[in-house]
Every structure is written in structure tokens, then in C-alpha cells.
Amino acid sequence: MSELSAHVKKLRVAWIADIFDEVSGIITDTEEMNDQAKKHGIFWQPITCYTKALAPFHVIKPVISIPTNSFYAGTSFHVPIFLNVTSYLRRINANIIVSNTPGVMGMIAMAAAKLLGLPWVDIYHTDMDSYAKKLSKGLIFGNPLVEPLINSAGLFYLKQYQKQADLIFVRTREFWDLKVKKGHSPSKLRYYPAGVNVDHWNPSYKNRAIWNRYNINSEKFIVLYVGRITRVKDILYLLDFFKNNQLNDCELVLVGGGPEKEPYERQYKAIKNIHFLGVKRGQELQEIYASSDLYVLPSPTETLGKTVLEAMASGVPVLVSDKGGPRDYVQDNRNGRIFQAGNYHSFEQVLKEILSNREILPALGNAARESMMLHTDEQLFRKFATDIADLID
């Protein structure tokens, strides 16, 4: 590919994000963009507020941590001293601020940009409305009389917050249309599609013997899920499917953590073909992806669905809902399968079809890998960097 322009290489990016957990799409996105920036010789500093070191971020210690409670069980909003953030931004001579989340650090990014006179861009990563509806529980949250008011207030905040941005990057065509519908000018929107490292996630890492490490029969059909173990991902669709159906030749493997993991492990421990492996990284995760027969993400709330792209790049066919980011990349019966979001009957029906017609899966997996060659992290970075460079002098 051609060299990036000299103007793009003048970027000094402060990439600011809230971190709730140490394994997330936000962190993966940050790592990949940071790696690409290094490759192209562009200054690109990820920044967060957290309780311990977390590469590649510059971590600012919180002055207070506020539990998210019902919104995202077991996690906290971490709040830094504002002056510590602005002082660091001055020290690194940032000339543009990117916020990758709309939480505390997103608000600080917005305020810091105003104070320092820097352009500020925001990335719309999370379907906040759907998250609120799925995660809100209790006397106030989840109360049918109160919930609409809470959700409306949250969406009003998000709209007013993003109106301050010089540019808003959206991850899918669906959310481009949503932003326009909510009153944002198309001139301020930029499409920020998925990118995946097709060398890192690759069918060459297939190693069926890896399942022996976890006492899983490698000769059986492996259904994989990777991500946070939480109800917001409709994880119960998968768990209940394996509970309710006699699948003697199938194994369900769930990779990931979170405070809901242990309760689900206890609840489903009697189902011998359900396996919770915890968090996996590096080559181990590469081999897990490439050595699976089917990847399933039931979630209807993904604005990106990075794990789906990683599975597809690994040559694995996928099953996803018809709502959210993965729908932009999965074509039914061409490189994966699609079910109706929020409809367990549809999910069950499509998954049963897949298990009854396994001979088509290798072709779907090959097509999945091929389709990801059009969505590499290199292509994503070049477009993103070029778009934001238009905002600097």
C-alpha cells in the first residue's frame, strides 16, 4: 500500500477510553489501532483511568471508583482528577483527542478538548439503549413505569454529549441511520467499520489437540463463544439450548470471564458438555478459534462484534443475530448463518439446522475467511487516520 501522507503523520493522538474489564472489544480495538500507528510512525497514546497497569494504556489512577451495580455487574466507573488528565495531554503535546467510550473518560475527553482548544472525535461503540434495557434490573431499573424515563434520559445525554464532537464515528450502517434519525448531521458522521488482523487470526492455528488440554473430546463438534459471560449477550440462549437438547456429539466451549461466569457455572454444572474455560489470550486463543467448528454470538446489542470477525478470519463459520454490527459482515448461507434477534425459537431453529447439515460448514468457513480479507485492520487504520487528520492544522 502507498505511504500515508505527511499531513496524516503529523497526528499526535490521545486515544481515551473507559475500562470496565481487562478483556473487551474496546481494549482489542485500542491494541490494534495502536499497533498500526506504531507501524506507520504516528504518535498514538491510549489513555485510561484504572486501578492497575494495563498495556498499551497510560493509566491515570482514579481518585474514586463508583460501582456500576445493575448496569454492568461487578465493574466500576473510575474517575481521575481532571487536572491530571489535562496535564498529561499537554505533556505529550496531543493535537487531537479521540474518545472510545461515552462514560466518565469520554466526558473528560470532551471537557479536556474544550479547555485545550483541540479537536475531539467520538466513536459510537455501544448500543446504549439496548444495553440499558437488558442490564437494568431492580426496583428502579427494570420497573416498567420508571425504565422509559431512565432510558430517555440516557439517550438524551448521549445525543447532547456527541453533539459537541467534531466528528462521530459509527461502526455499522445501522447505527449511521440511527444517528441521522436522532438528529445528527450526516456531515459529522464517518463510517468506522470493523478491521481484523488476518495474520493473527488465521486457520493455520488449527490444532484439535488443544481440546485435550481442557478434557474436551476433540472428535466431537465444538461450538465456541468468546466474550464476557453476561446476560446482555443473550448467553442463556446457548446455555439453555445445550441444556434442553440431547447433544451427545457436541461440546459448548465458553471463553471469557466476568462476575456472572461463576453463577452460570454453578447453574449449568450438571450439563457435562458445557465448558467454561475462563479468559484466554495469545496463541492459546488463536488455536481455540481455529480449532472450533462453529462460533456463536447470540447478542443483539453488538455495534461491532469483534469476536465474530476474529472467528471468521480464523476460517470458522458463525451464527449471529440479525441486529447489530456482525450483520454487516455475515451473509446468511454464504459465510455464516443469521437468526432473529431476541427470539429464542429462531435461534434454536437455525442452530438445529446447522447441526443437521454440518457438511456445508467447511465452505461457509472458507467464505468467512475470504470475506475478512476485505476488512483488515490496516485498511481500517488508514481510513480512520486520514479522516481525523482533516481536523488538525
**Burial class of residue 138 in the structure, from the number of CB atoms within 10 Å of its CB (0-12 exposed, 13-18 middle, 19+ buried):** exposed
44-62 per-residue burial string, b: 16 or more CB within 10 A, e: under 16? bbbbbbbeeeeebbbbbeb
Q: Which residue matches cell numbers 496524516? A: 8
8-195+376-389: which CATH topology? Rossmann fold (3.40.50)
With a pLDDT cut of 90, the percent of the chain lying above it is 70
With CA atoms as reference, report the closest residue to 102 among 130, 123, 81, 77: 123
pLDDT tier at 140, thresholds 50, 70, 90: very low
* 215 secondary structure, DSSP code: T
* 94 secondary structure, DSSP code: -
The grid coordinates of residue 382 equal 488508514
pLDDT single digits (tens) 343-386 = 999 999 999 999 999 999 999 999 999 999 988 999 999 999 99
pLDDT tier at 207, thresholds 50, 70, 90: very high
pLDDT tier at 238, thresholds 50, 70, 90: very high
For the full predicted model, state whether its pTM sits above 0.85: no
Q: Which residue matches cell numbers 487470526? A: 201
Q: Which amino acid is at 162?
A: Q
Q: Where are the domains of the chain?
A: 8-195+376-389, 203-372
Mean pLDDT of 204-230: 96
CATH superfamily entry for domain 203-372: Glycogen Phosphorylase B; (3.40.50.2000)
* Order of strands, sheet of 318-321, starting from the edge strand that comes earlier in the sequence: 274-278, 250-255, 221-226, 294-297, 318-321, 336-339
Quick one: pLDDT at residue 360? 95
Mapping DSSP to helix (H, G, I), strand (E, B) and coil, where does residue 318 land?
A: strand
